[in-house]
């Protein structure tokens, strides 16, 4: 890891520091459950508690911070990004906090809450239809706009290594120290793949501490992009399994892909809210089920970690708030959620690596 070289204007440093206190250092939840009556325990980072309510705040903050350090973004430059939602919300808020206008391209089938939240931060939203190419079309149109806009900054979350570095320097160390502080060491981490920044970055850091850890990417079984290499079928777990394998994902460095049905993920997210009071999004339900599957394979003593990437607030108009039919192969009906406690925000390293003042 290259050391941080503080090159920024004092005002930008102060703004970044202010933002940093609102992002990351999230609690690690300890969730007690029983599967077919057999007790178990899983760990999940509460990423819904970040500034705009998702894990993507970490990536947006880190990409902008790196760009300021390298001088690759001008003050007031237009930020243009393609996203399925949470990234747009993060760049809209954090970009504005740093004094930038923001323009977002996203597929037009994403939830209206996402679009309105981005607009609510004063950013411009370009809805891209299936005929215009949907997700891949959003990336192409964002690049075309950047070519025509002098000084525009394109974060390129799918290809930008600073995305995984956000998780290598923040999320991964947080998980490690939160567990070590309680006498535990992670045996496996499971995370649904959107850009792949979360699984690649946390995996890299956690492996550097314990090379026996298993690092499992997760995808919807109804639309297994990673296992097939291209878009197949449809799914309802917004934020993961877009239409291609992102360039920052290197499957050869990861362990086996875990697949979860989107209906099962919805049922689990509903249960987390109704039974534990944890208002999380659909990918959180998927991640918990993925972690549960891995724990079943590894044994009840295994310390398996996952993340709750966002909150339920962007899904109020989606199937998360509707009756979801169960299926015989679903895992959720066999699970009893018994309760949770949390390991607190006690990462020692995280603020130290954030010393921008020199
Ligand atoms: N869940 C949700 C709700 C998301 O928005 C994202 C980001 N697209 C992810 C999971 C996956 O995160 P990553 O991009 O780091 O793979």
> What's the confidence (pLDDT) of residue 7?
54
| Ligand 1 neighbour 168 (Cβ under 6 A) | no
For residue range 35-88, list pLDDT tens digits in order. Answer: 999 999 999 999 999 999 999 999 999 999 999 999 999 999 999 999 878 999
Query: What's the CATH number where 107 sits?
Result: 3.40.50.1100
| Ligand 1 neighbour 240 (Cβ under 6 A) | yes
Is residue 154, in this structure, part of any structural domain at all? no
Same domain for 175 and 259, yes or no, is yes
Is residue 1, in this structure, part of any structural domain at all? no
Per annotation, catalytic residue among 12, 46, 56, 164: 56
What is the pLDDT of the chain when averaged over all its residues? 93
Token pair listed for 184: 């535990």
Same domain for 125 and 233, yes or no, is no
Per annotation, catalytic residue among 54, 138, 241, 283: 283
Same domain for 143 and 173, yes or no, is no
Is residue 157, in this structure, part of any structural domain at all? no
- Rounded Cα distance between 17 and 140, Å, is 33
- 236 alpha carbon to ligand 1 midpoint, in Å? 13
- Find all residues with CB under 8 Å of 308, minimum gap 6, and list them: 29, 44, 45, 46, 47, 48, 272, 278, 280, 281, 284, 287, 288
Report pTM: 0.94
Q: Count other Cβ atoms within 10 Å, centred on residue 292.
A: 25
Closest Cα partner for 234 from 114, 159, 81, 130?
130
- Find all residues with CB under 8 Å of 234, minimum gap 6, and list them: 222, 223
- Rounded Cα distance between 350 and 149, Å, is 36
Is residue 355, in this structure, part of any structural domain at all? no
| Ligand 1 neighbour 196 (Cβ under 6 A) | yes
For residue range 224-239, list pLDDT tens digits in order. Answer: 999 999 889 999 999 9
Same domain for 273 and 288, yes or no, is yes
Cβ atoms of residues 285 and 307 within 8 Å: no
Ligand 1: atom nearest CA of 193 is 16
> What's the confidence (pLDDT) of residue 231?
84
Q: What is the mean pLDDT of residues 327-356?
A: 79
Eight-class DSSP state of 194 = S
Is residue 262, in this structure, part of any structural domain at all? yes
For residue range 232-264, list pLDDT tens digits in order. Answer: 999 999 999 987 899 999 999 999 999 999 999
Show the domain range for 102: 56-148
Q: Tell me: pLDDT of 335 over 70.
A: yes
The number of domains in the chain is 2
């Amino acid at each position: 890891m290259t050391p941080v070289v503080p090159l920024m204007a004092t005002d930008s440093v102060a703004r970044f520091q202010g933002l940093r206190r609102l992002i990351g250092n999230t609690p690690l939840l300890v969730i007690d459950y029983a599967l077919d009556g057999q007790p178990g325990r899983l760990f999940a980072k509460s990423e819904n508690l970040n500034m705009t309510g998702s894990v993507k705040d970490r990536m947006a903050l880190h990409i902008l911070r790196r760009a300021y350090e390298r001088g690759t973004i001008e003050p007031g430059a237009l930020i243009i990004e393609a996203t399925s939602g949470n990234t747009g919300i993060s760049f809209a808020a954090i970009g504005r906090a740093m004094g930038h206008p923001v323009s977002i391209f996203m597929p037009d089938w994403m939830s209206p809450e996402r679009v309105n939240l981005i607009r609510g931060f004063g950013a411009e939203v370009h809805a891209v239809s299936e005929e215009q190419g949907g997700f891949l079309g959003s990336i192409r149109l964002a690049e075309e706009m950047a070519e025509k806009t002098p000084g525009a900054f394109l974060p390129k979350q799918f290809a930008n290594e600073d995305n995984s570095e956000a998780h290598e320097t923040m999320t991964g160390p947080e998980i490690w120290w939160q567990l070590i502080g309680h006498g535990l060491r992670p045996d496996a981490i499971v995370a649904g793949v959107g850009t792949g920044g979360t699984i690649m970055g946390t995996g890299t850091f956690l492996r550097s501490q314990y090379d026996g850890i298993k690092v499992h990417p997760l995808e919807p079984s109804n639309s297994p992009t990673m296992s097939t290499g291209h878009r197949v079928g449809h799914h309802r777990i917004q934020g993961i399994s877009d239409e291609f394998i992102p360039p920052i994902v290197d499957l050869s460095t990861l362990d086996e892909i875990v697949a979860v049905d989107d209906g099962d993920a919805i049922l689990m997210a509903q249960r987390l809210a109704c039974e534990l009071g944890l208002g999380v999004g659909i990918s959180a339900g998927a991640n918990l089920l993925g972690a549960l599957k891995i724990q079943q394979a590894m044994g009840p003593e295994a310390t398996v970690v996952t993340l709750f990437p966002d909150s339920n607030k962007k899904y109020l108009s989606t199937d998360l708030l509707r009756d979801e039919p169960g299926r015989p192969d679903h895992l959720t009906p066999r699970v009893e959620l018994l309760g949770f406690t949390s390991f607190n925000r006690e990462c020692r390293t995280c603020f130290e690596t954030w010393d921008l003042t020199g």
